[in-house]
Amino acid sequence: MASLAEMRVIEAEDVAEDVAAEVFGPAREEVSETPQSRPEELRLLEALLFASAEPLDTAALAKRMPEGVDVKAALLQLQADYAHRGVNLVRVANKWTFRTAGDLAWLMTRESTETRRLSRAAIEMLAIIAYHQPVTRAEIEDIRGVVTSKGTLDVLLETGWVKPRGRRKTPGRPLTFGTTEAFLSQFSLESLGDLPGLEELKGTGLLDSRLPSGFSVPMPSDDPALRDDEDPLEVGDLELALAPVADPEEGNGNAD
């Protein structure tokens, strides 16, 4: 028979085990949990996925990870770790990659402006329209001395700096063209009256200083109203202005 002292020791050990179980949980051998990947394994996996320009499948990742690592389990754990972050680990076509969280995709949206360089022909045409408006395509060609190539006027229409104004009251009723408010804004002009005059154009070298006597630079009006020789635009005229033009027949002149 155990002595009174031995019974007290046994009772104390039982109490200690009960307290330990309550505070720290069941003994380790009694716990059945899914093994957790070690932090170093997750760091390696994270680095591989971050550095790759393309999504990676499990096999490709396993080749680069230390032997014995459960890559699938590590991926799932890493995916859970990133679930509530700005970047998520996602599967794309059975491959893994980091992507911006869906609810934050708007942060990556930005407006971009494509810079387009105008050809010399387009610049000349723009200048003629600005100074001689309202002007028809045939009048532009007459001033330039060459046939307008296909698409040159279309480029100016696409910039929004030029628009059809009306139709000339002449046979064929050709479209007339003028500049827009966007043209004034682009070139920091308060009005068409701020366009460079004859002396300014000479000073910049855009005009030969030895011009014929009586030469002048027209000053267009800012009045948007149609002139007496213009009719209002008709439905579909804008589409007509943007429609491709047939290339001039060979021998009729140089297109530019």
CB 137 within 8 A of CB 157: no
CB 177 within 8 A of CB 125: no
Q: Same domain, yes or no, for 228 and 144?
A: yes
Instruction: For residue 102, give the 3-state DSSP assignment.
Output: helix
Q: Is residue 172 part of a domain?
A: yes
Q: Same domain, yes or no, for 144 and 237?
A: yes
CATH of residue 59: 1.10.10.10
Biggest distance spanned by C-alpha atoms of the chain: 139
| Global model pTM greater than 0.85 | no
Q: Same domain, yes or no, for 136 and 84?
A: no
Task: Give the pLDDT mean for 153-176.
Answer: 92
Q: Same domain, yes or no, for 58 and 94?
A: yes
The 10s digit of each residue's pLDDT in 61-101 is: 999 999 889 999 999 999 999 999 999 999 888 899 999 88
Helix axes 120-132, 137-144, angle to 10 degrees: 110
Q: Same domain, yes or no, for 157 and 45?
A: no
Q: Same domain, yes or no, for 44 and 124?
A: no
Q: Is residue 150 part of a domain?
A: yes
Q: How many helices (H) and strands (E) does the chain have?
A: 10, 6
Q: Same domain, yes or no, for 79 and 132?
A: no
Last residue of a domain, one of 78, 103, 128: 103
Higher pLDDT, residue 156 or 215: 156
Instruction: Judge if the upstream peptide bond of residue 174 is cis by omega within 30 degrees of 0.
Output: no
Q: Same domain, yes or no, for 152 and 229?
A: yes
In the DSSP assignment, the letter for residue 56 is B
Predicted pLDDT at 20: 43
Instruction: Count how many domains the chain has.
Output: 2
Q: Same domain, yes or no, for 67 and 147?
A: no
Query: Please, is 47 exposed, middle or buried when counting C-beta atoms within 10 Å of its C-beta (0-12, 13-18, 19+)?
Result: exposed
